[in-house]
Structure 1
């Protein structure tokens, strides 16, 4: 488990950029945190790190948005599960078809989205004045990812400074 202190929204976005640089097609990121915790801000950073077409905004009312890559990498599938009634409604979105070819990020996904991929990251955002991101890696893929441990130090992962 990795914990990162996020003193402001820029730090939250920067963490997303660093994380985006270690993500690859087939990765699932499940985001948890209260209203205003920074889930969409983190996802905006992920989009920047992945090099996808934006802007990345909250998909609350459309449930899911696909942001194609501008760099030849994987697309970002951004899902807001807040209004979904559970696993059945998530299944109705047919995300399974996109999971292997894209990076899928599910806001409010805890307890619902983990079944999309056996290996995934769970990011919990907590705190008021200073936020904290707790990143839990599930699965073998993440044991082999050196860039994940660099997140807490502010290093830029395998792609260097951005």
Structure 2
């Protein structure tokens, strides 16, 4: 697994990164978005969903926990998941998130709530807020993503 880092200047750049990631997503992919409250995880997810064809604004799934999107609303099925409200990994198991990998892209916010159960082929994106308000995005790029990530 390779690690890369970049500075994201503002919300527009975060949305654009999401759009660029969306160009190469496939059914069965997992994008894990880590970072504190307000770091930009949902913004990045919105960029991905917009590029996949979602015309309405994607709500944060923090209360629904899993927000599914299906064709024709998007070009491939997506499950946008926010695990913030879960207390432990056992609750995450009840969601059967692995079932989505058969026919969907899985975007997971707060993947640490899964315990050690994050899929090895995941693209892990950790976002931190810099002192100047910019974001630092650190990517742990699995082998499944190496070729796709290199041209972003």
Query: What's the TM-score bracket when you normalise by the shorter of the two chains?
Result: 0.7 to 0.9
Question: Who is 1:148 aligned against?
Answer: 149
Distance of aligned partners of 1:71 and 1:48 in 2 relative to their CA distance in 1, 3 Å threshold: same
Segment drifting more, 43-52 vs 111-120: 111-120
Segment drifting more, 31-40 vs 126-135: 126-135
Q: Distance in 1 between matches of 2:115 and 2:108?
A: 7
Number of residue-to-residue matches in the alignment: 148
Structure 1 residue 22 displacement after superposition: 1.2
Question: Contact 1:6/1:133 (CA < 8 Å) preserved in 2?
Answer: yes
Distance of aligned partners of 1:114 and 1:73 in 2 relative to their CA distance in 1, 3 Å threshold: farther
Q: Distance in 1 between matches of 2:117 and 2:104?
A: 16
Question: Contact 2:83/2:113 (CA < 8 Å) preserved in 1?
Answer: no
Q: Distance in 2 between matches of 1:77 and 1:17?
A: 17
Structure 1 residue 114 displacement after superposition: 6.1
| TM-score (norm. length: structure 2) | 0.87
Question: Who is 2:134 aligned against?
Answer: 130
C-alpha deviations, 1:63-117, integer Å up to 9, x for none?
1100113377421101111111222111111222111211101111136176353
Q: Distance in 1 between matches of 2:12 and 2:89?
A: 33
| TM-score (norm. length: structure 1) | 0.82
Question: Who is 1:51 aligned against?
Answer: 53
Q: Distance in 2 between matches of 1:99 and 1:49?
A: 20
1:9 paired with 2:11, answer: yes
